[in-house]
Amino acid sequence: MRKFLLLLFCLALFYCAPSEALACSCAPDILRTGETEDQRIDAARREAQAVFSGTVLKIKIRKPSQGDRNPPVEVTFKVLSVWKGIKTEKAIVLTENDFSGGCCKNFEVGKSYLVYAYDWNDIGGLGTNQCTRTKEMSDAERDLRVLGEGKAPKRAKR
């Protein structure tokens, strides 16, 4: 009887286990216990290499390098305002291409975003993902209030 109950218990665990595990994991906000949301926004600005608002002009998947199963997605922005790190009116930001892993940040052409970008030495350039404060402008009211007024990017010489 014990063996039967043990077998039944093991089968129940098997069927209750999730069928898919996601590889991406963000550092929880618990690491910043005691901080207000405004302090978290300010910390994200300090830690980012670049903070800007922009409209997505183009999205393309980079060509894979040798052994690269999921080359990054390259997102080209028309920069609207800058708080840190961007000097021109266009910026390219990378994100993961592994949509099943949950780390990528989904962007849409024509939509505007507040972008917190970080230096991605392993793939070259600035990058962002779901673990950053990057968000659609329609959801960025509080961030914008804390960041203050941004500066216009420099226009390219013609």
- What six digits make up the tokens of 91? 């910026």
Domain count along the chain? 1
Say if 39 falls within a structural domain: yes
118's tokens: 């970080």
Range of the domain at 75: 35-147
Q: pLDDT over 70 for what percent of the chain?
A: 66
Domain membership of residue 63 (yes or no) is: yes
Torsion of CA 128, 115, 61, 98, to 10 degrees: 40
Q: Is residue 89 part of a domain?
A: yes
CATH of the domain at 113: 2.40.50.120
23: in domain: no
Predicted local confidence at residue 154, as pLDDT:
82
pLDDT digits (tens, 9 = 90+) for 87-140: 999 999 998 776 545 555 678 999 999 999 998 766 668 988 878 899 999 999
Res. 33 pLDDT band, cuts 50 70 90: low
Largest interatomic CA distance in the chain: 84
Distance CA 82, CA 88 (A): 9
In this predicted structure, the answer to whether residue 63 has a pLDDT above a threshold of 80 is no
